[in-house]
A and B are shown apart, each in its own frame.
Chain A
Amino acid sequence: MASSLSVPPTLVSDFAPTVPGFSCPALNLDAASVARARTLARNAAEEVQQFTASRTTVSVERTILRLLGVSGATADGQPLVNAVVDHLHSAGLLASGVARPFLTAALQHGMSPQVLAEQVAAERIDLRPVSEGAAPSPSDQKALLALGDQLGRAGLGRILAQRQTRDSQLQQLGCGTQPLRYVIVASGNIYEDVVQARVAARQGADVIAVIRSTGQSLLDFVPEGETTEGYGGTYATQANFRLMRKALDDVGAELGRYIRLCNYASGLCMPEIACLGGFERLDMMLNDALYGILFRDINMQRTLCDQRLSRRLSALAGLVINTGEDNYLTTADAVEAAHTVVASTLINEALARSSGLVTNQLGLGHAMEINPDFPGALTLEIAQAALLRHLFPGAPLKYMPPTKHMTGNVLRGHVQDTLFNLVGVLTGQGIQLLGMMTEAMHTPHIHDRYLALESAQMVFGGGAALGSQLQISAGGAIEARANETLAQALALLEDISAAGLRNALSRGLFADIARSPSGGRGLNGVAERAADYWDPCEELLQSELVRLGHLNADGGAQWPY
Chain B
Amino acid sequence: MAVLTPEAAGLAGPAVALSGARGVDLTQVRAYGDTLDDGQVMLTFSLPVPFGDEAKEAGRQLVRQMGLHEPQVYHAHDLGEGFTYLILYAKSPFSVDFTKISVPKVTSTKLDHTAIERLWSGHYGNARLRVLGACTGDDAHTVGIDAILNYKGYHGDKGLESYKCFEIKNLGAQVPNEVLLQEARAFGAHAILVSQVVTQKDCHRSNLAALIDLAEAEEIRDQMLFLCGGPRLSHPIALELGFDAGFGPGTTPGAVASYLVQRWVELGRQP
Contacts and interface: CB of A to CB of B under 8 A. Distances in A.
Contacts of A177: none
Contacts of B205: none
B138 interface: yes
Contacts of B77: 447, 450
A331 B146 contact: yes
Contact of B81 (A195, A230, A441): A195
Interface string A33-61: 00000000000000000000000000000
Given A198-B81, A446-B83, A441 B150 contact: no
Contacts of B232: 441
Contacts of A295: 140, 142, 173
Interface string A205-229: 0000000011101100000000000
A450 B85 CA distance: 9
Contacts of A232: 138, 198, 200
A446 B77 CA distance: 12
A13 interface: no
A199 B200 contact: no
Contacts of B197: 440
A453 to B, nearest CB: 10
A446 B49 CA distance: 13
B164 to A, nearest CB: 21
B3 to A, nearest CB: 30
B79 A199 contact: yes
Given A202-B79, A203-B79, A447 B46 contact: yes
A92 B19 CA distance: 75
Contacts of A445: 46
Contacts of A215: 138, 140, 174
Contacts of A442: 199-200
Interface residues of B, number: 31
Interface string A444-470: 011100100000000000000000000
A202 to B, nearest CB: 4
Nearest to A336: B152
B198 A231 contact: yes
Contacts of A218: 174
Nearest to B139: A214
B143 interface: yes
Interface in A158-201: 188, 195, 198-199
B201 A199 contact: no
B80 interface: yes
Contacts of B199: 442
B84 to A, nearest CB: 9
B198 A202 contact: no
A199 B81 contact: yes
B203 interface: yes
Chain A contact patch, size range:
20 to 34
Interface string B124-160: 0000000000000011111100100010100000000
Nearest to A403: B143
Interface in B215-242: 231-232
Contacts of A142: none
A404 interface: yes
A330 B143 contact: yes
B44 A447 contact: yes
B172 interface: yes
Interface string A225-244: 00000111000000000000
Contacts of A440: 197, 231, 249
Nearest to B172: A297
Interface in B77-124: 77, 79-81, 83, 85
B168 to A, nearest CB: 14
B173 A296 contact: yes
A141 interface: no
Interface in A294-319: 295-297
A137 to B, nearest CB: 51
A213 B173 CA distance: 14
Contacts of A450: 77, 79, 85
A408 interface: yes
Contacts of B203: 231
A443 interface: yes
A231 B173 CA distance: 15
Contacts of B172: 297
Contacts of A446: 46, 79, 83, 85
B80 A407 contact: no
Interface string B188-203: 0000000001111101
Given A214-B138, A232-B198, A232-B200, A407 B250 contact: yes
A171 B85 CA distance: 34
23 contacts: A198-B80, A214-B141, A215-B138, A215-B140, A230-B200, A231-B138, A231-B200, A232-B198, A232-B200, A330-B143, A332-B152, A404-B143, A407-B250, A408-B249, A440-B197, A440-B231, A442-B200, A446-B79, A446-B83, A447-B46, A447-B77, A450-B85, A512-B152
Given A215-B138, A232-B198, 10 more contacts: A198-B80, A198-B81, A203-B80, A214-B139, A297-B172, A331-B146, A333-B152, A408-B231, A440-B249, A447-B85
Interface of A: 188, 195, 198-199, 202-203, 213-215, 217-218, 230-232, 295-297, 330-333, 404, 407-408, 440-443, 445-447, 450, 512
What 6 A-B pairs are tightest by C-beta distance, nearest first? Answer: A202-B80, A215-B138, A447-B85, A232-B198, A214-B138, A447-B46
